[in-house]
Chain A
């Protein structure tokens, strides 16, 4: 079934990449007339890619992994359940963010660059999942990163995006190089970078060599990919970048790009764990996870800039996800599949919760021309179509049922308690962090929705275009759906979790 494989594996990636090119060309050709057109075309390509991915769902659920070797014996791409998951989440969010940006950027020129870069970024996300060897994954990882630098610094005339973009680029590049350094050590010992080949090759090399190389290579990769995954202390680029980027891009960054960084990290650590060693990354990652969530939540408390507050909240969310994956990899050497389920479900939910929250923040910014909470008191009453979804998304982020955050929290904490011992302590720390996070989530809701909006309305509030409102509502709706009917999300999460669980031994 080569045709079937080709289509499923290559078509989504091809659609995204060619979509980027075509969008750019059409945009350059039509200039001013085509401003709205480019956004629509880009979204169409993304929707087509999503369609192909979803059509592959039944096959992947049944256990098939369509794969294609581009160079026989060399580059292999496969649509394993993890790739399907990343693709669906990433492309889905990009459709929402892309449509949103059509209106958000209507005053700009040269939007064809924006959409082309957006599609390239999503292509990178999908590619991280498709790649079956570490260097390929690195290439797609870089594609995603490089595409995102100009997106952050899109408004090149203002000092904020430029400064943030510069810092982001520098840190990301340094991190990528570090990760590649680790990969090169791995290449030395294993002779191959194929995910399935590294393990057996390392076993041949002998136990002590294995241990030391896994530690060095693994450590370097954690540090390198950790920059993108916003793990503390590699996170310092995030608050600046996510708060000053155009809001559609903030949503994408917080919603899928940093999560893709985390998945890349897990994917890099996957081959190192099955080689019969007793190396456990779980506990180390769990400790960094607690550090990450605590720092994210604490620093968020003092923020008055709404988008910056949401950015620190993203750091905290990454902490929860990392903790989930640490449970999945096994704190005491015994991997717990529910940890992966929880982590992946949180990635899926977060795309809509955090993405939705950023889209709302963008709408507030559009309407009031400020990001400062103290200057947008009562904006939720003036714009209830944004205020109510904002409340839904924020409450979802704090783990309140019946939204999606509660479901993933349930899975993650159950996995932790099942792990026993330190796991219980880690779960308690996570729950304490969630209570702390209420300390900035609730005041933001209070400022936005529980203040008199009359003063604000008097100074003039720009009406928010219906397209943006529609996208915000869709994102909020998804947080409800994923929370009320978890089976919908579990359709793509469970195969991916089982796939990951297969890599980490349950001793």
Chain B
């Protein structure tokens, strides 16, 4: 098993994506099936990689020979798992799209070639991001993934909200990317290599550069993984077609930030403030966005906030050094969040609205969707047996063990709120009396099969903790501190922790109270007073960004007054500028006149 297979895994969907427009010219009907085949092959290839994980010494392809930049790839468990998740969920999403997009794109006059091409390009880029060892190459794929996200969010281009959402996502993640860029440069200069493996092997760079790099990586994670306060792009990204929300904004791209932090953890763990900062950002995000999910009325936006919250869990785990817990929750979350989004797609399609307060009573009419969503919701809430319970509690337990008790407490409180908001979602959508007269029915097989597959996965994926952790422990260097864990060990570790028992008890009590007082609670959350009001306004973070953008535009307007169009003014500018240059040279040129 060589690195070539990994490179093929990256190139295959990308080349497939480039061929989509040609296929579409040829015969529109087979575009979707062609894309499905490409996605299936990609997924199977990724499984092959899992079966053959080794820590492979990267070979280099010279890119900028004169500066010593070689493109290298690394097939270790950390990357291959992320790649496999991307390929697997990508395949299921494309399967779902073959039915879903017919209704939502073709009939509305949006071209499908662009959709499938961008989705395949995205899958390839995400795999490339995970399997690349050269940090510059990771950045290149990182940006490509961001571009695909922008293009797909703005897919329904006739809706100005979609275009705005895509632009906002691009710009805000770009702010994070700026941090990543500076980190790359700092690491490159400090360790004299661009290969991540090389960086881990060489002596650490000097303090200032390392600190800059650490801060940059954290900023990158905040941008890409929608952490507070850069979380505002994710809800607006929900204008994308729902399968895309499932793929990009739940299961793959948003994980890139967490993946980067986990990958570079050994580099930065030595910095005194870094682990604490990362854990702080993660825990804070988890809590704040959980509140935002609790008061949100739009189903997809609530799921988006929930994604931010869960990513906060993962980020805290990574910051605490619990790479196994972080990755495990990454996989679990990808499964159940994608499941929830795809169910949401079916629901929204049936009911015709995204507002949860206009739904209700769908449990009888959409049985399969009901069951799937219920399983996904229970996984999200962390109810035992489902994968979310095991991975989330593993995260909490690791955070406590690493010494961040304050963060652990925040995460426990967040878990309680998670139970509340996820149950609220389920209740508003599926229970009670129907608030809309639309005829709702279960989706057709094309859409239902992914739901069933993901629901089963949510129920049983946790059983694979043994081989999952073995793979990680074997292929990562000891600096990652990953140890193998068998199924029984995990059960023991999770179930018999006092923290877990306390939180489990609280959950039960909370669930009971919530159920009994459900109507009062729901109406309380609809009000416009106090804390609820603040949450519904997103704690005014969005308004802050709007204000900043407005100020910048205003600055542009005022700066524009220097273009008076008058020749004399222009020439005066020349004279003044000349004087300014002379003064500047005097001040900083290092010379003395006379």
Contacts and interface: CB of A to CB of B under 8 A. Distances in A.
Do chains A and B directly touch (beta carbons under 8 Å) in the complex? yes
Contact of B589 (A220, A281, A300): A281
B169 to A, nearest CB: 10
Interface stretch (A136-144, A166-174, A195-203): A166-174
B590 to A, nearest CB: 5
Contacts of B136: 410
A215 interface: yes
B64 A301 contact: no
Interface in A221-257: 222-223, 226-227, 231-234, 236-237, 239-240
Interface string B144-181: 10010000001001100001001100110011001001
A340 B549 CA distance: 33
A216 to B, nearest CB: 7
Contacts of B352: none
A401 B136 CA distance: 10
Contacts of B166: 450
B585 A281 contact: yes
Interface stretch (B185-193, B459-467, B520-528): B185-193
B102 interface: no
Contact of B154 (A208, A232, A450, A490): A450
B563 interface: yes
A298 B560 CA distance: 8
A137 to B, nearest CB: 20
Nearest to A450: B157
Interface string A208-222: 100110111011101
Interface stretch (A4-12, A95-103, A435-443): A435-443
Contact of A219 (B65, B553, B581, B592): B581
Contacts of A407: 64
A490 B66 contact: yes
Nearest to A222: B581
Contacts of B167: 442-443, 446
B493 to A, nearest CB: 42
B515 interface: no
A300 B586 CA distance: 32
A212 B582 contact: no
A431 B178 CA distance: 7
Contacts, number: 186
A219 B585 CA distance: 7
B229 interface: no
Interface stretch (A63-71, A80-88, A413-421): A413-421
Interface stretch (B314-322, B337-345, B568-576): B568-576
A282 to B, nearest CB: 9
Q: Interface residues of B toward A: which range?
A: 35 or more
B212 interface: yes
A298 B552 contact: yes
Given A413-B181, A435-B178, A295 B578 contact: no
Given A212-B594, A439-B552, A299 B589 contact: no
B585 A234 contact: no
Interface in A273-312: 277-281, 283-284, 287-288, 295, 298-302
A212 B563 contact: no
Contact of B563 (A234, A239, A424, A487): A239
Given A174-B574, A410-B136, A427-B182, A214 B581 contact: no
B232 to A, nearest CB: 15
Contacts of B186: 417
A234 B563 CA distance: 11
Interface in A381-402: 395, 400-402
B535 to A, nearest CB: 29
Interface string B283-296: 00000000000000
Contacts of B439: none
Interface of A: 166-167, 170-171, 174-175, 178, 208, 211-212, 214-216, 218-220, 222-223, 226-227, 231-234, 236-237, 239-240, 277-281, 283-284, 287-288, 295, 298-302, 333, 338, 395, 400-402, 406-407, 409-410, 413-414, 417-418, 424, 427-428, 431-432, 434-436, 438-439, 442-443, 446, 449-452, 486-487, 490, 494
